[in-house]
Structure 1
Amino acid sequence: MASPNLLSQSDRSVQELAKTFKHDVPHRYIQEHREPTFVSNNATSLPSIPVVDMNDFINILGSENDQLKNLRSVCQEWGIFQLVNHGVDKLLVDKMKNEVVKFFDMPVEEKLRYELKAGDYQGYGQTILHAQDQKIDWADRFYMITNPHHRRKPNLLPEFPPSLRDTMENYLQELQKLAMTLFGLVGQAVDIDNQEMIDVFDDGMQSVRMTYYPPCPQPDLVIGLTPHSDAAGITILLQVNGVEGLQVKRDGVWIPVNFLPDAFVVNVGDILEVRPPPHFLKLKKKL
């Protein structure tokens, strides 16, 4: 197998490949046996994922609050929701979006400074291969652990361009605060002591993933991100531009997610699992 630095740029970046090739999608990206995942946005009979408004929780009095009951139901029945009025400064969010765009607009030589190293999973690159015949997502990704600080890679966030580094640091701090608020609300909704939620999740592992999905001339043959569940407490998703594509599978049907303006999409992960009564919530493992 060729080492990464002997591969062409188009073999190391889907973004570069999409700029250059004019023929059929390379076989390594073609998902021949995938299940259909596209449902037309015109399918008006499909439900939309629920919306949770943080303003509804400003004055909570007791665990019998109707909004807490609704949050419990949303987490139990959907496990994903759009979060509005979340309190994260819009100027910071917009700046984060701009910095992500600027990162993927950098020359590929610059992005490859952060390239995945052999045997690692943090850095810039494509799908991590676990088998020789594994299919590759039609996407470039950058993934890194940001908390606890001793797990940060010195060649990643510390080496970012200053504007991206500083913006991301501020953004991640605000998202950490928001995440802890959400953990507290979910815990209250399912009658788990707030201190227990803090003990499990406060100062736990935090990671960030930035993903770029290039246009594809044969979109029905590829997948931007392989269907999966998130192995986390919660994931807070930010859509950088107006190009839709995220879908959620519920009751065997893939439902498009149409992001509301200024909303985050919050996904309840595998570590935090809300179940029907009498055991509303299960913590699968401690972070």
Structure 2
Amino acid sequence: MLATKIVSNGIKYSTLPKSYVRPALERPKLSEVANCETVPVIDLDCEDETLIIQQIGDACRDYGFFQVINHGVSEEIMEKMLKVADEFFHLPLEEKMKLYSEDPFKTIRLSTSSNVKKETVHNWRDYLRLHCYPLEKYASEWPSNPSTFKEIVSKYCIQIRNLGARLQEDISKSLGLEKDCIKNILGEQGQHMAINYYPPCPEPELTFGLPAHADPNALSILLQDTQVAGLQVLKDGKWLAVKPLPNALTINIGDQLQGLSNGKYRSIWHRAVVNADKARISVASFLCPSNDAVISAPKELTIDGSPAIYRDYTYAEYYKKFWGRSLDQEHCLELFKN
């Protein structure tokens, strides 16, 4: 029974199990996907701060995502993070299944797909979900196997949080706000992580690792295996494949920054496809508003007569609605429009 709950269960499938097969109109149509040749790449070590702010603003408005280089997260810790993630997913099934749960509100859980209880078709993905901040509260719950897991993931989390704080300041300034404006609205931010494992898939054209969705949080920071691409973004009505650059991190604007920016910045629709020959690993880190943070566009963004697009709401209210739906339903922000 356990072997059917996650995809990384040691079974070699020659055809895709029926519960993963998408209806014909909902398949990824991989032959129609072009490469995204214009991915914004921002050098955070550039001496021209004004240029960085402008590039970030342009990317948030026109794309909803960008890649950053010279971002302050060490190459060594990124390599170790991907390696220990791979080691975890190659543990014996019985060891991994100790962490299995279908409750999306648990602070640590191994699961598969996205919202197993709500979905009619599952996704070809397993993931380990971790709460990461404050570290002293959560890290003791993390796996002790592999033996280096807690140490490596803790170091990675700290560096990612520092990067996220810097990016939020830059995003705030790119909107014409004080650098601490976003931070003050979001409150004491939570930090979560999804360590994703997409095993080789016998029929990748029939399913997704993750279907199209927008992230419910404020900011997402994605570390990817550069050898196996899988991220695709929706740009001007077309799906485009994003090739990760070596030592780069991919930044996604989440729903809360779209709401906070009064729709000026885009929470990008994106998806993950799978590979017939190779497994893919990615590590997604999410910065999330405090539960009682009230998401509301600052007055500076409505002072020119632009009405507030979204009503005020708390992040706890938003998060509850998000997890009460299937991942690929309409944009959850639509439920909060004025």
Per the normalisation by structure 2, the TM-score is 0.71
Query: Contact 1:83–1:265 (CA<8 Å) still a contact in 2?
Result: yes
Which piece of structure 1 moves more, 144-153 or 239-248? 144-153
Equivalences for residues 51-70 of structure 1 within 5 A: 51-56=41-46, 58-60=47-49, 65-70=50-55
- The corresponding residue for 1:134 is 120
Residues 178, 201 of structure 1: alpha-carbon distance in 2 compared, 3 angstrom cutoff: farther
Query: Contact 1:180–1:202 (CA<8 Å) still a contact in 2?
Result: no
Cα distance, 1:12 vs. partner? 1.5
Q: Percent identity?
A: 24
Q: Which amino acid aligns with 1:53?
A: D
- The corresponding residue for 1:35 is 26
Write the deviation string for residues 169-217 of structure 1: whole angstroms up to 9, x where unpaired.
1100110000000000011111111232232346311100011111111
How far apart in 2 are the matches of 1:162 and 1:180?
29
- The corresponding residue for 2:165 is 180
Equivalences for residues 1-287 of structure 1 within 5 A: 7-9=1-3, 11-16=4-9, 19-22=11-14, 24-39=15-30, 43=34, 47-56=37-46, 58-60=47-49, 65-116=50-101, 120-121=105-106, 122-127=108-113, 128-131=115-118, 134-148=120-134, 152=138, 156-157=141-142, 159-201=144-186, 203-273=188-258, 274=261, 275-276=263-264, 279=301
Which piece of structure 1 moves more, 174-183 or 97-106? 97-106
Q: Which amino acid aligns with 2:16?
A: V
How far apart in 2 are the matches of 1:33 and 1:41?
15
Which piece of structure 1 moves more, 238-247 or 192-201? 192-201
Q: Which amino acid aligns with 1:8?
A: L
Write the deviation string for residues 75-128 of structure 1: whole angstroms up to 9, x where unpaired.
011010011111111111111111111111111111112111557554112123
How far apart in 1 are the matches of 2:41 and 2:31?
21
Per the normalisation by structure 1, the TM-score is 0.83
Residues 119, 171 of structure 1: alpha-carbon distance in 2 compared, 3 angstrom cutoff: closer
Structure 2, unpaired ranges of 5+: 266-299, 303-307, 316-338
Residues 94, 245 of structure 1: alpha-carbon distance in 2 compared, 3 angstrom cutoff: same
Cα distance, 1:279 vs. partner? 3.8
CA RMSD across the alignment: 2.9
Tell me the SS of whatever aligns to 2:26.
coil
- Which runs of structure 1 show a deviation greater than 6 angstroms over 4 or more consecutive aligned residues? 280-284
Residues 153, 37 of structure 1: alpha-carbon distance in 2 compared, 3 angstrom cutoff: same
Which piece of structure 1 moves more, 102-111 or 191-200? 191-200
Which piece of structure 1 moves more, 24-33 or 218-227? 24-33
- The corresponding residue for 2:327 is none
Cα distance, 1:138 vs. partner? 0.6
Query: Contact 2:102–2:116 (CA<8 Å) still a contact in 1?
Result: no
Residues 38, 200 of structure 1: alpha-carbon distance in 2 compared, 3 angstrom cutoff: farther
Residues 101, 93 of structure 1: alpha-carbon distance in 2 compared, 3 angstrom cutoff: same
Tell me the SS of whatever aligns to 2:199.
coil
How far apart in 1 are the matches of 2:12 and 2:188?
44
Tell me the SS of whatever aligns to 2:161.
helix
Aligned residues: 270
